Amino acid sequence: MYEFKTTEQNNTKANDYETKALLYLLSYRKDSRSIQTFAIDCFNDVTGCNRQYSMLWDVQSKNEQSLTPRKIGKYLITLFLNFQHDFPFEHFIFFMPKLTEGYLQNENLKTFDLSNFKEKQSSKIKEGLIAEYQRRQKQSPDETQIDSFLPQVLFVLGEDSKIDYVKKITNFKTQIIQDKFFESIFNEIRDKQTAFKNISIHNSRIENASEVVATNKLFKRTDFDTLIINRFIGFDLFKNLNNIPLSFRDSIKDFELEECKDIIQNMHSEIARVLFDKNNKRLFWLFFEELIITVKNNINLSPTDIRQVFLTNNVNVPSEFTELTVVYLIALIKDGWQSEEGL
């Protein structure tokens, strides 16, 4: 059984570091693709879960300048308590700003374990953790457990910009899209994170990790891809079958209304299958980036003509996409771009 004791009890806002920690789990790690859901302010600030909830990536985020090693030890307490628990916590991550010089063996590393701290500093971390455990639990910890736990903690410096953390989701290389577009996505994710934090589950209990779904405090991996697509086109693509781009209407003018709805629904299904298939996702974003560049450079052409230009670039088009689906995506980007004055 797990009792949620360390969640936020008062209305609070997610800070940039908590959102960076979330996006770090989403796309910065070699094992990021194994994480399918992200629990917000349940087990910790952010906790990644695999599809079966049989493996948990636990993250404590602390946006405090001039962190001392003893304070770091203090802030590791929730990670340590989860380490002691029989729930399947496999990874323990402390997400923080750059540290004062002189604490580390190698100042250039952005991710490192306890061995990168100088001996005096690692001792201070242990002291801070022991003191905080005694304060909270009213007893001394098993130091053997602490000695086992500390080397397993991964320390991560959240030095990249908000823009970089969002760009990492798609790995777009183009400079056509303005930074403010990516920053607005970051802020939207942070706002959703705040909404999750303000759902109180304090003192509630679950019997196994999968029951965290009932808290309604989870992002799904697919939520981030959907959010980015929706920001490009200006509406919720997968929930609005009636929002037909103006520049696409010529392509379906010969069909009856009900036929048009079926066509749109089928195209949405094609897009969802590719976007949400982890084996095709990379192909989709490469294709979509080239599509954005082509639309931007040929904004005054019709979607059908833009498709002809696009095909000359020898870009791999997902096999699931029909000719009409590509034209539809072009129309969505074209109309969305014009309405947002260039994203």
Q: Parallel, antiparallel, or unpaired: how do β-strands 153-157 and 218-220 relate?
A: unpaired
Mean pLDDT by 10 residues, the chain (343 residues): 76 82 96 96 97 97 92 97 96 95 93 97 97 94 95 96 91 79 92 93 94 96 89 76 81 86 90 85 88 91 94 89 94 78 51
Q: Which amino acid is at 244?
A: I
Q: Residue 209 is encoded by which pair of tokens?
A: 């990790």
Q: What Cα–Cα distance (Å) separates residue 328 from each residue in 18, 250, 274, 283?
A: 36, 11, 15, 18
In angstroms, the CA 97 to CA 66 distance is 8
In angstroms, the CA 283 to CA 93 distance is 30
- Helix (DSSP H) and strand (DSSP E) numbers for the chain: 12, 9
Alpha helices in the chain (DSSP H): 16-27, 69-75, 77-84, 119-137, 143-149, 162-170, 179-197, 221-233, 257-275, 281-297, 303-311, 323-339
In angstroms, the CA 301 to CA 317 distance is 20
In angstroms, the CA 242 to CA 231 distance is 17
Residue of 11, 9, 45, 42 whose CA lies nearest to 25 = 45
Q: Residue 197 is encoded by which pair of tokens?
A: 């934090």
Confidence at residue 80, expressed as pLDDT on a 0 to 100 scale? 98
Q: Residue 37 is encoded by which pair of tokens?
A: 């859901």
Helix (H/G/I), strand (E/B), else coil: 110? coil
Residues sharing a CB contact under 8 Å with residue 205, sequence separation 6 or more, in sequence order: 1, 2, 3, 4
Residue of 15, 4, 26, 5 whose CA lies nearest to 193 = 15
Contact 46, 39 (CB under 8 A): yes
Rg, the chain, Cα only: 23
Q: Where are the beta strands (DSSP E) in the chain?
A: 2-3, 37-40, 46-49, 56-61, 89-96, 111-112, 153-157, 205-206, 218-220
Confidence at residue 42, expressed as pLDDT on a 0 to 100 scale? 96
Confidence at residue 10, expressed as pLDDT on a 0 to 100 scale? 54
In angstroms, the CA 168 to CA 57 distance is 19
Q: Residue 52 is encoded by which pair of tokens?
A: 């079966």
Per residue in 116-147, is it b (16+ CB within 10 Å) or e — as a string? Answer: bbeeebbebbbebbbebbeeeeeeebeeeebe
Helix (H/G/I), strand (E/B), else coil: 50? coil
Q: Parallel, antiparallel, or unpaired: how do β-strands 2-3 and 89-96 relate?
A: unpaired
Look up residue 313 and give its DSSP letter.
T
